[in-house]
Every structure is written in C-alpha cells, then in structure tokens.
Homo-oligomer: A and B are copies of this chain.
Amino acid sequence: MSSVSIIGLGGMGRAIAARAIEGGHAVELIGRDAAKAKDLAAALGGGATVGTFGAVPVGDIVVLAVPYASAVPVVAQYGDALAGKFIIDISNTFNADATGLVIPDGTSGAQEIAKAVPASAHVVKAFNTVFGHVLAQGRALDVFFAGDDARAKADVSAFIESLGLRPLDVGGLEMARWLEGVGPLLMGLARNGAGTFDVALRVDLPG
C-alpha cells in the first residue's frame, strides 16, 4: 500500500514492522546498527528494506521506535531529514519504578519531540498504551492516538487500521501526557490486578 519507515530495532519496532508487512506496507527498517537492521529485515521478510540512519526516510510515516531517552537526540540528529514527515512517537516516559513520568507537568514526551522536529513535520502520539509483546501476539487491539495536525492524524489512523488495530483519537497533542500516564497504569495493572503483562486496554462502545 504505502511505505513506512521505522527507526528503532527493539521489540516495539519489530512488532509494528511485522504487522505493517502483514498489512501490505513497504517497510524500511532503520537503526544505528546497520547489520542488526539487515538481520531484522531478513528475519521479517516481506521485502523489508534497510535505510541509513540519519538520511531522509523513505516513508511518509516514520515510526520513532526508540526509548524516550534517545528520542529527542535522534530527531535532533535527523534535523531537516524529517521535513514533511508524519512522525509516530510510541515512547513511554515513565520512571524506573513505573509510578510516575520523567517528563515534567504541562508537557509530554511527544510534545518535547514535536519541539525538536522541523516545522513541516507533525508528531502523532500512538501505540505507547500497547505492550510490544502483546502487539506481536496478533490480537485485535485498540490503539489510542493524539496529535494536532488533521492530515497527519488521518494518515496515522488509516495506518493503524491497516495493521488490524482499531485507532481511537483522543484529541490534540496535549493529550499525549495522559496517554503516557497510561504507561504506569498498565504496568501497575500487570503487576497487581491483572497478574500478567499480557493485558491490553479496550474501549467498550455501546451497541
């Protein structure tokens, strides 16, 4: 269908890449470690290609699938190479014991990333409320997203849907903080009430 670039070769990047390939997308894998990207492309199959870290990504949608600690430095390094891209920030920003966020009040990881990308690029927060290993299980899942640019949100929503997932718009990028707050909640739920990390949040709609 369309092409998507994924920066980051960890569990979430891999899970999204696998579902994107299944969904018929041309997937470009990008990491600092090109050999690792090549291995992952081979393992995933589906014609996945390997991009050069820091160069203009092929996809109109770029999934930034690196830990939050690396996210702002990575987009800063990319600089104008991200011009015009729709960037999906999937990062979780919770602290070591998953009781709070490392981001101060009044902002979010997504908003900090948005400050660091070119003005023509648009950040959409998505996927951080889904555990990577759950995504890899192939279950039907709800994916919450937030962003300020209508066209970016429409494209990201269609992308999420193409992965067999239900996109759920929660509003503008200022909502990213509360999506990031779901991170500690899911961890707490997994450790306490659910007793398993195989949990997923679903929205129950009437009728």
| Alpha-carbon distance A167/B139, docked complex (angstroms) | 23
- A203 contacts chain B at the CB level, 8 A cutoff: yes
Closest to A197 in B: B206
Complex interface residues of chain A between 185 and 202 (CB less than 8 A to chain B): 185, 188-189, 191-194, 196, 198-202
Chain A interface size range: 35 or more
| CB atoms of B203 and A194 under 8 A apart | yes
Q: Interface stretch among A19-27, A58-66, A100-108? A: A100-108
- CB<8 Å pairs between A and B, sample of 14: A99-B174, A100-B177, A144-B185, A167-B193, A168-B193, A170-B185, A170-B188, A175-B184, A178-B181, A194-B205, A196-B205, A198-B205, A198-B206, A199-B205
A binding-site residues for B, Cβ under 8 Å: 99-100, 104-106, 137, 139, 141, 144, 146, 167-172, 174-175, 177-179, 181-182, 184-185, 188-189, 191-194, 196, 198-206
